Chain A
Amino acid sequence: MESIISVSNLKKSFKSHAVLKGVSFEVKRGGIFALLGSNGAGKTTTINILATLTKADGGRASISGYDCFAQKSSVKKSISLTGQYATTDGLLTGRENLILIGKLKNIKNPKKTADELLKKFNLVEAGDKLSSTYSGGMKRRLDIAMSLIGDPDVIFLDEPTTGLDPQNRLAMWELVKEMQSSGKTIFLTTQYLEEAEALANYIAILHEGKIAAEGTAEELKSMFPSGKMKITFDDDPGIIEKLKNAGLKALNVEQERPSLEDVFFATIGHEKGGNGDV
């Protein structure tokens, strides 16, 4: 499948702090792409550069064939961005938020679209309440509904489930899959391995300003083949020999495959479980 987003050698520093040191990846049309990284890895910075909101210091990026540095209007028309923190207007109702975006995107019938989206996102009852009164899960749903208006090719979701309870997180996963099956390309960032594994067709791990590893969840796992076990006996040599001599037969030899978590920690060079905040 063709790439809808191409990023090569992207660089960005804030003052002397180099955040991106040459990031490259491709996103296939119609897939779910997860950019996985710890807090402060540069996920939001990457999204902001792709969405034309932050100037990169170097490299190239394009979306749907449009240059993210030179063809900002066209890029903006082909994307939508749901930020890490609610990108809704708290002083407007849910319905008004949707109408606002519909009008700004010049769609035909903003009111009708708002009604449809309220229904689809299970916000009909809350539709006429101020969005600042919404719960975290409702705000996220409204946010995503706003992002669907105007039929963008690529939907950016910056940490869509951070701060959600498990139930709402599962609901969000379903929603993301549904958006993909309706033909959208999803670019999401996450700090959670199981989220990347559950959702994404392709995962890129961003660490210390570079893509440390990338591939499907399966590919990533097979890059690090050994779930090794190391046993040390006091008279080390010949342990296998001894087992064999003792008449033990191996029935099945299976190489244990690592979890994505192992891959992540192997990639970033930390011991698993070192600090809980991935």
Chain B
Amino acid sequence: MFNDIKTMFWRSWINTLRMPEAVAMSVAIPAILMLVFINVFGGSMDVGAYNYANFIVPGILVNVLVQSSSSTGIGVNEDMTKGIFLRFRSMDISSAAFLTGHVIAAFIKTILTTTVTIGVALLAGFRPTAGFGDWLVILGLVVLFIFAITWFSVWLGVVMPDASSVSGILALMAILVFLSPGMAPTENMPRFLRYFAENQPMAPFVNSLRALMNNHEITDNNLLLAILWWGGILVVMFVVTILAYRKRLTI
């Protein structure tokens, strides 16, 4: 099984590299997004004690991670309509290997995207004050989030009828970060939206990242909530996806 996963990862990774436009876009879009937000909206928003770049980085990061997971679901969806998938189905391969190969390739690509995003943020005025230990926790949270959102994307790839439904749903998900504390303070939102924004799963995640990056205390169990939410989403999505996938193996 480990060998199958390794081989499938090798295949997915080559496939990723064979679409350099896609990789370039997944790096360019977050960079542009970061620059636009910091330079265009930066002056006009009151974000309290933060320098604007320091405030916005966690929100943009979430947006970027959701967007960049989209290509994985699309890849899975397209693969499953192709001839090579018939061959995979006819071979004795462990059933998690094909999907896990995709997820690992996506993970490496996303780490690259994340690094570029943070790099551009630093150039644009992001001045984190996190210590080494904080950075480790940040890394752990980001890795957890990447795996969770990638398995969600893969699940969409398995159950959706076509690739554009996958990217459509993930584009909507990426917008959800605007209804969280990620892009703007929630105090000015109407009551119902504010309740949603402060309690949806992205909220404890951006709150934790923001506090860690700026060396503030993490309040209200945000760290625990972030881990529970995204750990839970990861486990559920993994199981649900494998089950849905197995169903697709025999018609």
Determine chain B's interface SS by DSSP, over half rule: helix
Residues of B within 8 A of A104 (CB): 4, 7, 88, 91, 93
| A105 close to chain B: CB less than 8 A | yes
Q: Which of B7, B14, B82, B88 contacts A103 (CB 8 A)?
A: B7
| A92 close to chain B: CB less than 8 A | yes
| B18 close to chain A: CB less than 8 A | yes
**Binary contact track B1-25/A, C-beta < 8 Å → 1, others 0:** 0011001001100110011000000
| A204 close to chain B: CB less than 8 A | no
| A112 close to chain B: CB less than 8 A | no
| A4 close to chain B: CB less than 8 A | no
Contact across chains for B3 and A103 when beta carbons are under 8 A apart: yes
Residues of B within 8 A of A80 (CB): 90
| A62 close to chain B: CB less than 8 A | no
| A181 close to chain B: CB less than 8 A | no
Residues of A within 8 A of B87 (CB): 81, 83, 87-88, 101, 146
Contact across chains for A90 and B92 when beta carbons are under 8 A apart: no
Would you list which residues of chain A between 68 and 115 have a CB under 8 Å from chain B? Answer: 73, 76-77, 79-81, 83, 85-92, 96, 100-101, 103-106
| A53 close to chain B: CB less than 8 A | yes
Contact across chains for A130 and B14 when beta carbons are under 8 A apart: no
| A51 close to chain B: CB less than 8 A | yes
| B216 close to chain A: CB less than 8 A | no
**Binary contact track B105-142/A, C-beta < 8 Å → 1, others 0:** 00000000000000000000000000000000000000
| A190 close to chain B: CB less than 8 A | no
Expressed in whole angstroms, the Cα–Cα distance for A105 and B88 within the complex equals 11
Contact across chains for B83 and A87 when beta carbons are under 8 A apart: yes
Contact across chains for B90 and A54 when beta carbons are under 8 A apart: no
Expressed in whole angstroms, the Cα–Cα distance for A86 and B87 within the complex equals 9
Contact across chains for B251 and A54 when beta carbons are under 8 A apart: yes
| A52 close to chain B: CB less than 8 A | yes
| A244 close to chain B: CB less than 8 A | no
Contact across chains for B15 and A92 when beta carbons are under 8 A apart: yes
Q: Which of B14, B19, B88 contacts A96 (CB 8 A)?
A: B14
| B175 close to chain A: CB less than 8 A | no
Residues of A within 8 A of B86 (CB): 53, 81, 83, 87
| A48 close to chain B: CB less than 8 A | yes
| A270 close to chain B: CB less than 8 A | no
Contact across chains for B14 and A92 when beta carbons are under 8 A apart: yes
- How far in angstroms is the closest Cβ of chain A from B98? 10
Give B93's nearest chain A residue, CB to CB: A104
| A55 close to chain B: CB less than 8 A | yes
**Binary contact track B164-176/A, C-beta < 8 Å → 1, others 0:** 0000000000000
Chain B CB count within 10 A is highest, among A91, A101, A130, for: A91
Contact across chains for A91 and B18 when beta carbons are under 8 A apart: yes
Give B6's nearest chain A residue, CB to CB: A103
Known: A53-B89, A79-B90, A104-B91. Is A88-B251 also a contact (CB below 8 A)? no
Contact across chains for B84 and A87 when beta carbons are under 8 A apart: yes
**17 further contact pairs, Cβ within 8 A, besides A77-B92, A100-B11:** A52-B250, A53-B90, A80-B90, A81-B86, A83-B87, A85-B83, A86-B83, A88-B83, A88-B84, A88-B87, A90-B82, A92-B11, A92-B14, A100-B10, A104-B7, A104-B88, A105-B91
What are 26 contact pairs spanning A and B, CB under 8 A? A48-B251, A51-B90, A53-B89, A53-B90, A54-B250, A55-B250, A73-B92, A76-B91, A76-B92, A77-B92, A79-B90, A83-B86, A86-B83, A87-B86, A88-B83, A89-B11, A89-B15, A90-B82, A91-B15, A91-B19, A96-B11, A96-B14, A100-B7, A103-B10, A104-B88, A106-B3
Report B's interface with A, CB cutoff 8 A.
Answer: 3-4, 7, 10-11, 14-15, 18-19, 82-84, 86-93, 249-251
Closest 7 CB pairs of A and B: A81-B90, A87-B87, A76-B92, A87-B83, A103-B7, A89-B84, A83-B86
